[in-house]
Each structure stands twice: as structure tokens, then as C-alpha cells.
Structure 1
Amino acid sequence: MLRLWKWYQNCLATHPVKTQVISSGIIWGVGDIAAQAVTNSTAKHYHLQTHDEVKELKINWRRVATTTIFGLGFVGPVGHFWYEGLDRIIRVRLKLQPNSFRFVASKVAADGIIFGPLDLLVFFTYMGFSSGKTSAQVKEDVKRDFLPALILEGGVWPIVQVANFRFVPVRYQLLYVNFFCLLDSCFLSWIEQQEDAPWKQWFKSFLPLKEQEGQGG
């Protein structure tokens, strides 16, 4: 394990962007496999209760590839430059003392306000188009999934990022986040599959009446 970590450090020092891109793709792909396993397990539990036929897990490798590409094409490169740039702006331009309360709080706030919502928006839009949906269908899916995911993740990620920005060196911050993204990609993939879940209908009730009617039609 130590040898693997040293190899990763060497790759990161030599090819930082490429290393971040590849590691992000692998982690998001593994996360999607985990998401499919969780969804299948949930479905099994439901079918056992209703005495319906229980289907065995069959991995959708096309979806795994699609999610992996998201990690490769968005999370890796964008995440790399985001964490490097965010640290430079907060430390150099705002001249805040590293690891101070204002330093960490500023980073957490910027990450939650800018990168978090952008990541969710790109994820749901990309997954929708990748599955062959039309622009109108993708728009409705984003309306359905974005707010619940943003609220639920908003209760977790700030805590994750406080530890990240306080204790983790900048070069390893995306790796740290990616390990949590192993769970996050699982969570987002699960969210994306829960089309008619009752809790989503509850969130939908907060939308303006006109938008509710549009989603219903």
C-alpha cells in the first residue's frame, strides 16, 4: 500500500492533471457500479415484500462507461484547476492566513456556492443526454433531481470540505474529494434512478404550481 501511495505521489508530481483525470475516472466508474448494486439491493428488498420476481444484479456497463467519462472529462480536469485556483485566490488575492477560520470558511463557502451546484447541474444534464433523452426530457429531469440532491448534499459536503481545506495539502484535495465521490457518485446515480420516489414528489410540491403541472404532463 505504501509503495502504491509513493507511486501515486510520483505520478502526481510528474503529471498532475493527467493523474487527477485518470484517478477521477476510475473512482467515479467504481462508484456507479456500487450505485447499481445498491439500487438492485433496494429493488430486491421491495420485491421480496411484494412477492414479485427478484432480478439478479446485472451491471449496465454502458452506464459505468458513461459515468467514468464524466469523471475523466469533468471532475478530474475541472476539479484540479478549481482547487488549485481557489487556494491561490483565497491565499494570495484575499491575503488570508492559511488554515485560519476565515481561510477555511471562505473556501467552503465558495465551493458550496459555485462548484457544488455546477457539478450537480453538469452531472444530471450529461447523464440525461448520454442516455438518449431529448432537451425537454433532460430539463424536466434536472428540475426533478437537482433540488433534492443539492439539499441532501448540502448537509454533508460542507463538513467534508472543512476537513479537506483545513488539513489536506492542495495537491491532494481532489483525491480526498474523489474518495468521498465514490459514495457521492453512488448517491447521485441512485438519485437519478428514483424517478417517482415519494420523497421526490415531496420536494416537487415546493415548486410553483405551473412547473408542477408541466412536469406532470
Structure 2
Amino acid sequence: MQTTMRLQSIFKLYQKALVRRPYLVQAVQTGTLMGAGDIISQTIIEKKLIKELDYKRTLQFSSIGLFVGGPALRFWYGLLNHHIGSSGKSVTIKKVFIDQLVFAPAFLFLILSAVGTMQGKPWDIVKKDIHANYCDVLKTNYYIWPWVQIVNFYYVPLQYQVLLVQIVALFWNTYLSWKTNRKQLLE
């Protein structure tokens, strides 16, 4: 009972902060969940011990969420809501179609570019990494995200859409972290 009340209190604080500073709150939650995805990638997929974690890598991945991912998602969902609408089956289908046709390819390119840049790679190496990974990442995106976005755009109010996406993205970010660091692991 006490735990439930605490969770309700935390959620109310979250709601208030979200109303006052939506971009900041969603940027912080995105950065946090991207960092968590990197830690999951390092510990579970790459089988590193906690003492072997590359915290610089985690901070870099987290920074991409904080400064790029969270603000971009919040802006994009607001734009879709404003220009396409906020509810209904046809609105949902239009949003998912535009999201996956326009935003997903551009956003994935931006994320892959940002990861390579944050890793300190020269642009010619970043381009090679993008060339090697982009199609595979985009294809994997199309297996997962249209379904998530149908639920997100149909059932979830705008202020919680980034949160839902970032909860699912915890697993997506684990995949992206593994995919974008795979070559370094093989070297």
C-alpha cells in the first residue's frame, strides 16, 4: 500500500514537471533510458562485468538522448498532432505512415551519425559505419516501431508519447548500442 502511494506521488511529480517543462523532462528521460540501454548492452549482450563498463560510451549514448533524441521526438510528435490531428483511426494510420516514411529514416541517420561522432571517429569512418549499419537498423526498425506507434498514437495522450516510446526504446537502444559498437568489440 505504501509503495503504491509513493509511486502515485512520483507520478504526480512527473506529471507536474511534464506540464511545466515538457522538452526538458522528455530530454532527461530519453537520455536516461538511452544510457540504460547502453548499460544493458554492455552487461547482458557483451557480457562485461560492472567494473569493466565503458562509462564514457554510456555517457556519450546518454548525451545523444538528452540533446538530440528527446527534444526531436517531442517536437516531432507535437508537429504530427498539430498538422494531422490527435485522435481517430485514420489519424493514427496517417501519423504512423508519415512517422515511418519521414522521421524514422532521418532520425536513424542522425543517431548513427551522432554515435560515430561522439566516438571520435573521423567523418569518412562514420560514413562507412552508416553504410554498413543503416539498412539493417532501418529494416529492424520497421519490424518493431510501426506496431509501437499504432498503440502510441491511438491510445496515448501527447504528453506521454515520448515516455511510452522511450520505455520500448530501452530495448531498441540496447540493440542500437550493440550494433553501433559491434565493430569496436571485434577489434
Q: TM-score, length-normalised on structure 2?
A: 0.90
> Percent of pairs identical after alignment?
29
Q: 1:193 — aligned with what?
A: 181
Q: 2:87 — aligned with what?
A: 99
Q: 1:144 — aligned with what?
A: 132
CA distance in 2, matches of 1:90, 1:3: 34
CA distance in 2, matches of 1:155, 1:138: 25
Q: 2:75 aligns with which of 60, 73, 81?
A: 81
Q: 5+ unaligned residues in a row in structure 1: which ranges?
A: 42-54, 92-97, 197-217
Q: 1:72 aligns with which of 66, 69, 74?
A: 66
Deviations 1:5-39 (A, max 9, x none): 11100100111111111111111111111111133
Q: 1:24 aligns with which of 12, 27, 30?
A: 30
Q: Which has a greater percent of helix?
A: 2
Q: 2:149 — aligned with what?
A: 161
1:84–1:171 CA contact under 8 A, matched in 2? no
Following TM superposition, where does structure 1 have runs of at least 4 consecutive aligned residues deviating by more than 6 angstroms?
Answer: none
CA distance in 2, matches of 1:133, 1:75: 20
| Structure 1 residue 159, shift from structure 2 partner | 0.4
Q: TM-score, length-normalised on structure 1?
A: 0.78
CA distance in 2, matches of 1:56, 1:79: 32
Higher relative contact order (CA 8 A, sep 6+): 2
2:32–2:62 CA contact under 8 A, matched in 1? yes
Q: 2:15 — aligned with what?
A: 9
Aligned pairs for 1:96-135 within 5 A: 98-135=86-123
CA distance in 1, matches of 2:24, 2:118: 24
Q: 5+ unaligned residues in a row in structure 2: which ranges?
A: 1-6
